Structure 1
Amino acid sequence: MAALASYAALSFDVYGTLIDWESGMVTGLRPLTDQLDREISDDAVLEMHARHESAAQAQTPARNYSALLATVYRRCAEELGLPADWEACERYGASVPDWPTFEDSADALAYLKQHYRMIVLSNVDNRSFAGSARRLGIAWDAVFTAEDIGSYKPSQRNFDYLLAGIERMGLARSALLHTAESMFHDHVPARANGLDNAWIYRRHQKQGFGATMDPGQLADTTFRFNSLRDMAEAHERGDL
C-alpha cells in the first residue's frame, strides 16, 4: 500500500464527506415530517430520500441538482401522503448552500491543501456548490460538478470526466487518491476505474447507508478513516 504522502492530489466527494448533507436533508424535510401523526426515524427519512434522489438522477441525469431536489421533495411528500406546493419543493431545492459542514472539514482541508492538489467531483450544481465552498474555505485546484458533466455519480461519465481532468493537470492516475464517504456513488466506481481510495466513514457509528443507496457489495479501500481530521492527522504523523 502506498503512503498517504506519496499522492500528489486528492479528489473529493463533497456532500456526505465534507458537508453534513444528512443533517441538511432531515432539517429540510421537516415541513413534511412534522405533519405526520406517527414517528419516523431520521434513517427512514434518509433512505426514502436516497431512493427518490437516485431514481431522479438516473431518469434526468442532465437536470440541475437544485431543481432535481425539488422533485425529490415532491416524491417524498407523495410517499408520505402529504401535500406539498411547488414553492415548498423549490425552497428545499435551494437549501443546499445552507447545509452545514462537518465540524472538522474546514481545518482538515486547510491542512491537506498544503500537501496536495485538491479536486472536487460532486453530484451538485455550480450555484449550490459555490455556497458550500464558502463554508469549506479553501481554493480548489479543479471543480467538476454534475452540472458540468451532464450526469450524476456513479455514472462512468463522471469518472471519465475526472480522469480526463487530471490528465490535463499533468497527473497520473496513480497520483490521485479519491476521498469520499459513499460506497455507492464513489468507492465502487472509483475502484472499477483503478483509483486508490480513502473511505471517510462518517456513518461508522450508525446502521445502514443513510442518504445513499446500498451498493450491494462494499468496495475495497486503500485507506479508511472515521473523519477527515483522522486522515489529516495520519498524514501529519506520517504513519501511513
Structure 2
Amino acid sequence: MSLFQPKFITFDCYGTLINFEMAPAATALYQDRVPAGKMRAFTDAFAAYRLDEVLGAWKPYEQVVDNAIRRACRRMGVEYREGDGKAIYDQVPTWGPHPDTSAGLAKVAKEFPLVGLTNAANVQIPHNIERIGVPFHAVYTAEQAQAYKPQMKAFEYLLGQLNCNPEDILHVSSSFRYDLMTAHDMGIKNKVWVNRGHEPANPYYGYTEIRDIGGLAAVVGL
C-alpha cells in the first residue's frame, strides 16, 4: 500500500481523529446512579445501543444519543432523567483531537486532500475539526447523507460528493464495525486501521495497521 497514491484520504472522525468521550460523559452524568462496579457494563450498553440506533432511517443525532441512553438505562435498571441525552449530546462539540492527530495529519495534508465522513450533526463537527488545526478538503456528515455509518448509503454519498470511485480513496478508521467492514463491502481496497484499542484486529477486511495518525505518512510513501 505504500506505493498507492490516493486522490483523497478519507477519515472517520470521532474515535479515529477526535478523542471520543461518550463513555466518560455518561460516567460523569450517572456516577450517582450507577455503582462503580457496573459502570463499564452501563457504558458498553450505551455504546451498543448507539450502533443499533444508527442502523435504521436517519434521525437527528441528538435523538440517537437520547434513545441509546434511555435504552441503556432501561436495560440496566437505572433511573433516566429528562434531558440526560441532551446533556451528553451537547458535550460533543467540545471534544478535541487525540494527541497524535494534528501532527500526523499535517504530514500528509500538503500532498493529499483530507476528507472527513462522520456520524456527527452539521452543527457539531466544525468545532471538532477546528481544534485539529489542519485544513480539510471537505467534511461530510450523516445529516447531509441522510444515513449513518455503517450504512452503505453514507459511503455512497461520500463517493458521489467527491466524484470518485472506491479504488480512488484511502479510508482511515479506528473502527471495523462503523467503517472498515462497510468500506470492504463497498470495494474500498485501500484501508488503514488505527489501532486505538477500541476493537480487536480482524485481518479478513484487508488493511494496513498503524498505532496512531503519525504512522499514516509512511503508508502513502511520505
The TM-score normalised by the length of structure 1 is 0.82
Runs of at least 5 residues in structure 1 that lack an aligned partner in the other structure: 210-214
- SS of the residue corresponding to residue 214 of structure 2 reads helix
Runs of at least 5 residues in structure 2 that lack an aligned partner in the other structure: none
1:28 aligns with 2:22: no
Question: Are the equivalent residues in 2 in contact too, given 1:66–1:128 (CA < 8 A)?
Answer: no
Question: Are the equivalent residues in 2 in contact too, given 1:14–1:122 (CA < 8 A)?
Answer: yes
Question: Are the equivalent residues in 2 in contact too, given 1:121–1:162 (CA < 8 A)?
Answer: yes
% identical aligned pairs: 23
Structure 2 match to 1:212: none
* Two-structure CA RMSD over aligned residues (Å): 2.3
Amino acid in the other structure paired with 1:64: P
Summarize deviations over 1:116-175 as a string: whole Å, max 9, x none: 1111111111111122112112222122110001111111111111121221xxx45333
Summarize deviations over 1:77-100 as a string: whole Å, max 9, x none: 222322222222211111111233
1:198 aligns with 2:192: yes
Aligned length: 220
- SS of the residue corresponding to residue 83 of structure 2 reads helix
1:183 aligns with 2:176: yes
Aligned ranges for residues 37-48 of structure 1 at < 5 Å? 37-40=35-38, 42=40, 44-48=41-45
Structure 2 match to 1:224: 209
Question: Are the equivalent residues in 2 in contact too, given 1:70–1:89 (CA < 8 A)?
Answer: yes
The TM-score normalised by the length of structure 2 is 0.88
Whole-angstrom distance in 2 between the partners of 1:148 and 1:138: 22
Structure 1 match to 2:3: 3
The 1:99/1:77 distance shift into structure 2, 3 A limit, reads farther
Amino acid in the other structure paired with 2:30: L
Whole-angstrom distance in 2 between the partners of 1:7 and 1:200: 18
Whole-angstrom distance in 1 between the partners of 2:69 and 2:46: 8
1:99 aligns with 2:92: no
- SS of the residue corresponding to residue 78 of structure 1 reads helix
- SS of the residue corresponding to residue 38 of structure 2 reads coil
- SS of the residue corresponding to residue 86 of structure 1 reads coil
